[in-house]
């Protein structure tokens, strides 16, 4: 009977894993936490779109912001009702970044559509956009400049960037993502003012800035310590 049991176990080893070598080894707590984090879906983003309609002194409906002729606050200008995104958009990708910095002098959150040299020169000088000397300039007859500024922040760790661009009919949708530092992060206490600037082919239609608040991923649970093995001297 013992021989029969051994034969049956050998025949079923490939299907049932009778052998001791087929038993899976338990993962360490660190590897298990990484595996769970990699399988977790990304956190959702809060999305709100605002039509670009900067306030001016002539309109008077909304107090004009700095650079009112080409910029508006991140919460909208004359039109502060959120714009529904509607049907699927035709993606344009993300054009190359023209300028990016965290030490601008833009004091408040701004979203700008710059269409001429005068507006570009004003915001470049007053906002202290430190372009390299080799910068060849912008051809506003063929190009449009988009700017997203986060305004003055108390520490490092804040960021703003254009995630992507999309088009529907004559309306350009610029998706702007903002990020805050993680709780408990070690940061410098110097104030910052992040800004990013894109250059794209000339666009004379409407522009909608779609604000995306990127939430921080949930923190991982503390990893348990593996029990120490007691090695007895023989």
How many angstroms separate the CA atoms of 162 and 146, rounded? 9
Least confident of 49-58, 144-153, 171-180, 209-218: 209-218
Per-residue pLDDT at 189: 81
* 8-state DSSP, 103: B
Q: Record the tokens describing residue 95, joined without a space.
A: 């054009």
How many angstroms separate the CA atoms of 142 and 151, rounded? 29
- Residue pLDDT, tens place only, 5-30: 554 444 545 444 455 455 556 656 55
Q: Which residue has the tokens 């993680």?
A: 182
Per-residue pLDDT at 191: 92
- Residue pLDDT, tens place only, 101-154: 999 988 889 999 999 999 999 899 888 898 888 888 899 999 999 999 999 999
- Residue pLDDT, tens place only, 174-198: 999 988 888 878 788 889 999 999 9
Mean per-residue pLDDT over the chain, rounded = 77
Is 95 strand, coil or helix? coil
pTM score, whole prediction: 0.70
Q: Record the tokens describing residue 81, joined without a space.
A: 């009702």
* 8-state DSSP, 153: B
């Amino acid at each position: 009977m013992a021989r029969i049991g051994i034969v049956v176990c050998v025949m079923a080893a490939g299907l049932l894993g009778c052998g001791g070598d087929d038993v899976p080894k338990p993962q360490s707590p660190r590897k298990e936490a990484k595996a769970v984090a990699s399988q977790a879906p990304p956190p959702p983003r809060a999305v709100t779109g605002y039509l670009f309609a900067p306030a001016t002194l002539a309109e008077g409906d909304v107090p004009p912001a700095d650079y009112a002729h080409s910029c508006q606050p991140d919460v909208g200008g004359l039109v502060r009702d959120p714009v529904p995104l509607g049907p699927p958009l035709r993606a344009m990708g993300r054009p190359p970044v023209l300028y990016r910095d965290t030490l601008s002098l833009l004091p408040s959150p701004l979203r700008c559509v710059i269409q001429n040299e005068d507006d570009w020169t004003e915001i470049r000088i007053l906002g202290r956009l430190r372009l390299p000397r080799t910068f060849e300039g912008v051809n506003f007859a063929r190009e449009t400049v988009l700017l997203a500024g986060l305004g003055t922040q108390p520490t490092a760790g804040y960021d703003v960037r254009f995630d992507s661009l999309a088009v529907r009919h004559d309306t350009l949708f610029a998706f702007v993502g903002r990020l805050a530092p993680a709780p408990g992060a070690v940061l410098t206490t110097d104030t910052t003012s992040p800004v990013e600037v894109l250059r794209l082919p000339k666009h004379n239609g409407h522009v909608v800035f779609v604000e995306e608040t990127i939430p921080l991923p949930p923190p991982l649970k503390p990893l348990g310590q593996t029990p120490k093995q007691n090695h007895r001297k023989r």
